[in-house]
Structures are given as C-alpha cells and as structure tokens.
Structure 1
Amino acid sequence: MNTIGQKEIHTQKNVIAFFEQELGYNYLGDWHHRQDNNNIEEAQLTDWLKRQGHSDQIISRVLFKLNNAATLAGSQTLYGANREVYDLLRYGIKVQPSASEQNITVWLIDWENPLNNDFSIAEEVTVYGNNIKRPDIVLYVNGIALGVLELKRSTVSIAEGIR
C-alpha cells in the first residue's frame, strides 16, 4: 500500500525536476524496490574513476579502501567511520600502483574542477540494515551518497518528520 499522498509525490517530482533541469543532475530512478542499494554505488564511481584515467587495479584498491572505511566493523564508532570517509573524500586515497612505484593520490571528487564530477539523484532509495530506511531523495557525487532530502508536509511536527 502506498502511504505517500499525491501532494507529496508532486512535490518530490518537482524537487527532482529542479535538480535535473536547473542543476544538471542525472536522474537514476525510483529505487524503492531496487536491491543492494548502498552509500557507495560502485559502478558509478568506477566509471568516473576510469574517465579520470585510472586502471582497473587502482580502482579495485580504491574501492576496497573506501568500503573498508565506510563499514562499521569491529570497535569502530559511527563518528570514527564518518571521520575516515570524510578524510578520504577530502584528501584522496593513497594507492601504490606497483611495488616499484611511489604512492599516488586518487581523488574521489574533483575539488579543483567541480563540474568534472558526476552529479546524480535517486528517489525512494531503500537501504536495508538493522532498520529499513527509505529517504525521499538521495544525492550522489561520482556514485557516493553525500546528501539526503526528506520532504515533509508543513503540517507534520518535526518529531514526527524525523521518525
């Protein structure tokens, strides 16, 4: 049963249209029923990294380091994971191409040329974990989820909207 009203759907579609038409975002679709949604869309990030000239071997190492940082494993706290991912996004990932070569920095975001990045938007992105979450809209940069928009009616209390 769909619990989203027509006004809410209309507003959501208008927001998506704004991001597409005014900001140049690529619409990825309604991911309500899509399996394996993740904070890191590896196919998109891989495509972007390939366009930056990185080899499959380098990309594989980058994805491993990024996914490892983003995972709450062992005793790592949410704050620690967020801090580690932030550092990788902001300062790049150091990767050694081969044993005989020096480390290179692989940037996940082109900070010097922002328009060189891929900006995407998806709606109703269902994420499974301890709890099922479905934000209204997720914003991606190079396949990395960096923003979430929750659209709520003005008649809904803040506490109810956060739940």
Structure 2
Amino acid sequence: MTIQVGDHLPEIPLQRIREGVEIVDTASLFNGRRAVLFAVPGAFTPTCSERHLPGFVENFEAFRSRGIDVYCMAVNDAFVMQAWGNSQNVPEGLTLLADGNGEFTRALGLELDATGYGMGIRSKRFALYADHGVVRQLHVEAPGEFRVSSAEYVLEHLPA
C-alpha cells in the first residue's frame, strides 16, 4: 500500500557518504524537522540529471530559507549517489540518500518495475513534504511525466 498524507515515514536505514559510508535511519533524518524528500528512478538518467536534481539544486536556498531540509533518494548505491552529486554540483546540505536495496522505497509503496529497461526495481519519481516525520504532502508522478515532483511545483505548494 502506498504511503498517504498523515502517515509517519517508515523507519528504514538508508546510506549516505560524508567521511565514508554512513548508515542513517529515517527517524533521525526526518523527526524534529521539516523536510522535502524527492526520489528519482536513477542517478545519471536523463530526466533525473537534466531536470529533476538540477531544479532542487537551483532552488535549494529557497527551501532552506523556509527552514526545510532537502533530501534526494534513489535506488542506487551510496558511491553512485556521491559521484552523481559531485557531477551535478550539489550544494552542501542537500543530502543524497542511497536506498540500495529499495527497502525504503518498498516500505513507501512507491516502487517502479524497470526490469524491462534493465534497471530492476527502482523508485517512482516523487516528492513529499514531511513535518516531524509525518507526510503532509505527496506528489507522485504518472509514468513518464515530470511535473508534480519538480522543485518549482513543490515550492509553490508548500504551506506558508
């Protein structure tokens, strides 16, 4: 079942790279703060690299000025996410998260079967706004679309 507005984000470990690979639980990332989490089907893929992540990079300060942390997630490993972030000039503070085995994605009910493209199970393209770990907004893209999960759309629809 897909996560819904009003649900708590599931507590599942993810990975990120700082001084090395770190395991971080979602509770420590999202509890006690306001955050936007957006997910892409894959690092280095065309729409993800040309539009989705760049939109959040360009609008990062607008989110921060509203007291909102920004996280990007993909079903990729932490090293791929780090390399992608470096290639995209991701600012410090915009955290790239690796859901390497897709456990968090499955717990959200937002998995995408991309086996027909040789990519296995990935995440649907989405963005959510969470306040203290509770989903307040959820924007899931229809297959092949990029509209409601863009940084601009999410910013426009955030609560005042």
Larger helix fraction of residues: 1
Higher relative contact order (CA 8 A, sep 6+): 2
Structure-2-length-normalised TM-score:
0.28
Structure-1-length-normalised TM-score:
0.28
Greater radius of gyration (CA): 1
Larger strand fraction of residues: 2
